[in-house]
A and B are shown apart, each in its own frame.
Chain A
Amino acid sequence: MDISRAIIMDVLQKVDGSRKCSGIYYILTGKKTAQSLSDSQWFKIEPYYASLKGLTVEDFNSILDELCTKEFINLKEDQVFLISEKGSNFLEKNKSYYFFMEKLNGLKYASIEHKCWQVLSLFVQSLSNALYHFLNFSPVIRDRDAAEKVKILFPRTDEQRKQVASQLYIELKIILKKCDSKSAEIFVNKLSGYNRVGHTFDQSAREWGLSRVEAVLRFRSVLHMIFYSIKEKPESYTVLYTLLGELIDIPALTKSALQTYHLLKQEKDLKEIMKIRNLKLSTMEDHLVEIAREIPDFSIQPYIRDEDKDRVSHFYNKTKKFKLRPIKEAFPHLTYLQIRLVLAKEGGKHAVGSGT
């Protein structure tokens, strides 16, 4: 079974009927809305956020149809699907095959992975060619920012190049060893260097008899593993950290929420920000929730009293319901925004440790 079907089934299993398939489609294709971002976290499907980037609605629907026909999933009500026993047995049986996806974290990295890859790929290509004293190679990456960055960080002398190469070799080897060999092969084949231009995804897929989607996901899983490793232990991955550290540190906010965040840091209040940015109240609230969720240091204290916050967390932890309405009914004096802020922080707690 193609990997995209397994992903869709696993997501349906985890969402357990709480969302319509359109919501699921947005998560899988990485739509940057407050809803898909927070859903990914609440349902603990961060790996799958943006995992099927580029999938069309038509293709998504026809996969759902196909899974229904084969009785891997069932229609619960209009637009809502549940995994069947057959489906969940299937996932359980093939768990080890899909294991590499544990390393994915689309929610965290989908917005920066491409930039990071461009820098890493261009750096490796340049370094490898320099090590063989071949200076007239043709770069496989054109991005101006990546080129600028590589130029600045590139070691100047032969001696430095050798040192950096040995260190980067070791760093990549350690990380690749943590991945399955198929994914590691695909990743290394995508690198370009002296006398070899990297594979396209189509070529990797063909070589390994995989679907293109799976080749892409395996490649991305290694990339995400690199990001994760750098973040966990920057001191062990000095070269990778120098190359990518700065890019990875950017919080996974939508562009617009990031601007709001910067204004908040300049101690502007909500009214001012709404005026400066010409935002609607609801947009402003979405931004706050997003910021609360993504940025651990961001305190929600100004927006809700501590005791209310504790009562909401307690209630949520007891019921583990991801729906707002029951909470609102239990605490009618609180606004939806206040509840969402607490849940954003709660979701954050669970996210810790649920990664790789």
Chain B
Amino acid sequence: MQLEAALKQYYGFDEFRPGQKEILEDILSGHDVLGMLPTGTGKTLIYQLAAVLLKGRALIVSPLVSLMQDQVDQFKQTGFKKTVALNSFLDQSDKRSILKHLKDYQFVFVSPEIMQNNYIRSTLLSVEWSLFVVDEAHCISQWGHEFRPHYLDLVYVKKELGDPVCLALTATATVKVQEDIQKYLGIEKAKVHIHSVNRPNISLFVESFSDLEHKQDRAIDLISELKGPGIVYTNTRRSAEQLVNLLHEKGMHNVSYYHGGMEQDERLLVQKQFLNSQLKLIVCTNAFGMGINKPDIRYVLHYHAPSNMEGYVQEIGRAGRDLHPSAAILLYHPSDLEIPFHFIENELPDHNQIDFILSDYDVLSEQTVAERLHLAGISETGQRFMEYHLNSAGVLNEKGISEDKRESLKKTLKLKIEARKKEKLRSLRMIENWIMTNGCKRNMLLNYFGEEEKNDMEYCCSGCQDDLERFYGKEEPKLLIDHEWEDELKRLFRQEV
């Protein structure tokens, strides 16, 4: 009863969504919890309420550094004003000021990497924590679609913090990944709440094209017919911008792109315009769509296939959070997979780069392994990967390392990288397979996550003859300014006309 009262008080809702209450009860009675809940079903609410009811402070580890500030904004808007994020985007003075007033915050978001910093870590240790939340917990597993090696250190941080109650959350984890999460976070005794990844109110549509132009035409047709608000995902910034320009040319003006290459001010404006329904559609890269939290998104359209099933499920999860019928549409062309394929091939260092990083100590240049790592020109993910493993091996800040040690390290790293690549390629093949195979898309998806098939859906997917046209419709466009600046200025300041 107490739980429902709090739900009403903080959110104005009368009922919990499936899973929320059970997890809360376990946390409040002091159990660690592993929760797998589908995207868009209110994971955040769980730890917000838990911290409030525990009358304590929550540390939230999240890998989505560039979206952390969006999360903080959402917390504040929900009424949890004492929320802050600590990550590499902050400048020194902001960082210092936050750390100085750390005890005044109730929710602190951190990236796994920033806790490597001794000063930050010791400040975190100086206050008391009631809850240790590991968001996107699948990142701890090599078998997860987004392995973040620094997640492996969270178990030590947790111990240092005095083992507060741990809540590990993920939207998409296969059985193998679930086991890894418990093992590597040291929460083998956690209560496990696994919910189906199935989102019954989202219908799944897949259409294949052998001609790129046909696909583009189809996308434009759909965008002009489908009832918004909607999100379109592309796999590069460039294609997001190109598509938007095309839509503008067709006279669709309430459409904008949204990606990590934009100036922050402008990106924020687009995001808020979309939330305020001034825009009917945003076109974004996969990573940035994750920052959008709008309950009434009616469709998610993939203009390119994502690189794995887990990513796909997370991305379509932006749709229909209000539980109304929504559509997920994937327009596929075989060339879609080229970019993810290329990415997988080049993300982690190749043999040459590893040999360079761990080459014989050069007296003239006097470089440490870490310095060489930065010179090697590898991706951010690759650097994180190497940094973690070199640090674990205790050589990151060394100069001369014995030949034996170097050789064995090279060998292990190469093997690890090969394994990781292989796993990613396998995931890519899985989604390709899912796209190409005829049949019920929903059941194939459930099969992938080791779940039972569902055969009682009224509306299901393109394989089950669901009709995309039922998502067509026009909405009243929200009027932008159509008057002179003087009138708008009057309106803004509520001056009588």
Nearest A residue (CB) for B496: A166
Q: Decide if the interface of chain B is mainly helix, strand, loop or mixed.
A: helix
Cβ of A245 to closest chain B Cβ, rounded Å: 20
Q: In the complex, what distance in Å separates the CA atom of A192 from the CA atom of B256? A: 17
A197–B270 alpha-carbon span in the complex (Å)? 8
* B273: Cβ under 8 A from any A Cβ: yes
A43 on interface, CB distance cutoff 8 Å = no
Q: Is A198's CB within 8 Å of the partner chain B? A: yes
CB pair B266–A184 under 8 Å, yes or no, is no
- The answer, yes or no, to whether B14 is at the interface (CB within 8 Å) is no
Cβ contact within 8 Å between B278 and A128:
no
Task: Please report the C-alpha to C-alpha distance between residue A173 and residue B495 in the assembled complex, in whole angstroms.
Answer: 12
Within 8 A of A (CB), among B76-100: 77, 94, 97
Contact with A along B56-81 (1 / 0, CB 8 A): 00000000000001000100010000
A200 with B270: CB separation less than 8 A: yes
Given contacts A132-B494, A196-B278, A201-B266, contact A142 B489 (CB under 8 A): no
The distance in angstroms between the C-alpha atoms of A210 and B310, with both chains bound, is 42
Minimal beta-carbon separation of A199 from chain B (angstroms):
7
On whether the beta carbons of A194 and B492 are closer than 8 Å, the reply is: yes
> Do B266 and A188 have beta carbons less than 8 Å apart?
no
Determine whether B481 belongs to the interface, using a CB cutoff of 8 Å to chain A: yes
A151-194: which residues lie under 8 A (CB-CB) from chain B?
162, 165-166, 168-169, 172-173, 176, 181, 184-185, 187-189, 191-194
B392 at the interface (CB under 8 A from A): no
Complex Cα distance A192/B270, Å? 12
Given A165-B493, A168-B493, A189–B272 Cβ distance below 8 Å? Answer: no
> A172 with B77: in contact, given A196-B278, A197-B276 (CB under 8 Å)?
no
Interface contact A173-B269, CB-CB below 8 Å:
no
Q: Is A83 an interface residue (CB 8 A)?
A: no
Task: Give Cα distance in the complex from A176 to B495, angstroms.
Answer: 17
Report whether B485 and A140 are in contact in the complex, using a CB–CB cutoff of 8 Å. no
Smallest beta-carbon distance A157→chain B, Å: 15
Q: Which residues of B contact A131 (CB under 8 A)?
A: 493-494
**CB-nearest residue of chain A to B479:** A196
The answer to whether A197 touches B269 (Cβ under 8 A) is yes
Contact B269 A198 (CB under 8 A): yes
Known: A142-B268, A176-B485, A189-B481. A169 touches B495 (CB 8 A): yes
Which residues of A are found within 8 Å of B275, using beta-carbon distances?
A: 138
Kindly supply a per-residue 1/0 record for chain B positions 262-305, scoring 1 wherever the CB is within 8 Å of any chain A CB and 0 otherwise: 00111011101101101000000000000000000000000000
> With A and B bound together, what is the CA distance between A285 and B491 in angstroms?
53
Find out whether the CB atom of A169 lies under 8 angstroms from the CB atom of B485. no
A134 to B491 Cα, complex, angstroms: 14
Are B485's CB and A188's CB within 8 A? yes
- Distance in angstroms between the alpha carbons of A213 and B248 in the assembled complex: 19
**Chain A neighbourhood of B272, CB < 8 A:** 138, 140, 192, 197
**A319 located at the interface, meaning its Cβ lies under 8 Å from any Cβ of chain B in the complex:** no
B488 within 8 A of A: yes
* CB of A187, distance to nearest CB on chain B (Å): 8
Q: In the complex, which residues of chain B have a beta carbon less than 8 angstroms from the beta carbon of A185?
A: 484-485
Q: Chain B residue with minimal CB distance to A130?
A: B494
Residues on the B chain within 8 Å of A197, using CB: 269, 272-273, 276, 278
Chain A contact residues, majority secondary structure: helix
Q: Cβ of B489 and Cβ of A173 under 8 Å apart?
A: yes
Q: Which residues of A contact B217 (CB under 8 A)?
A: none
**A335 in the interface, Cβ–Cβ < 8 Å?**
no
Closest to A183 in B: B485
Chain A residues whose C-beta falls within 8 Å of the C-beta of B475 in the assembled complex: none
A172 adjacent to B270 (CB under 8 Å) = no
Q: Shortest distance in angstroms between B488's beta carbon and chain A's nearest beta carbon? A: 5
Q: How far is the CA of A198 from the CA of B269 in the complex (A)?
A: 7
Q: How large is the interface on A (under 10, 10 to 19, 20 to 34, 35 or more residues)?
A: 35 or more
Give Cα A206 to B94, complex, Å: 36
| Interface residue A124 (Cβ < 8 Å from any Cβ of B) | yes
Per the bound structure, the CA–CA distance linking A199 and B265 in Å amounts to 11
Closest to A203 in B: B256
CA distance A162 to B270 in the complex (A): 29
How many angstroms from the CA of A184 to the CA of B495 in the assembled complex? Answer: 18
**Closest chain B residue to A173 by CB distance?**
B489
Q: What does the 1/0 interface line of B462-497 toward A look like (CB < 8 Å)?
A: 000000000000000000110011101111111100
Within 8 A of B (CB), among A276-314: none
A127 interface hit (Cβ, 8 Å) = yes
CB distance from A179 to the nearest CB of B (A): 10
CB distance from B51 to the nearest CB of A (A): 21
A16 within 8 A of B: no
Chain B residue nearest to A114 (CB atoms) is: B265
Cα–Cα distance between A138 and B484 once the two chains are bound (Å): 25
B485 pairs with A199, CB closer than 8 A:
no
Q: Roughly how many angstroms separate A95 CA and B220 CA in the complex, as a whole number? A: 42
A128 and B493 form a contact (CB under 8 A)? yes
- Report the Cα distance A67→B492, complex, angstroms: 43
8 Å CB interface, A101-131 against B: 124, 127-128, 131
Would A172 and B495 count as touching, CB distance under 8 A? no
When distances are taken between beta carbons in the complex, the residues of chain A under 8 Å from B73 are 138-139, 142
A-B contact pairs, 26 of them (CB 8 A): A131-B494, A136-B77, A138-B73, A138-B275, A140-B269, A141-B265, A141-B268, A142-B69, A142-B73, A144-B97, A162-B494, A173-B489, A185-B484, A188-B485, A188-B489, A189-B488, A191-B492, A194-B491, A194-B492, A194-B494, A196-B480, A197-B269, A200-B256, A200-B270, A202-B266, A206-B248
Given A128-B494, A165-B495, 19 new contacts (CB under 8 A): A139-B73, A140-B272, A141-B265, A142-B69, A142-B268, A165-B494, A169-B495, A176-B485, A188-B485, A189-B481, A192-B269, A196-B276, A196-B481, A197-B269, A200-B256, A200-B266, A201-B266, A202-B256, A202-B266
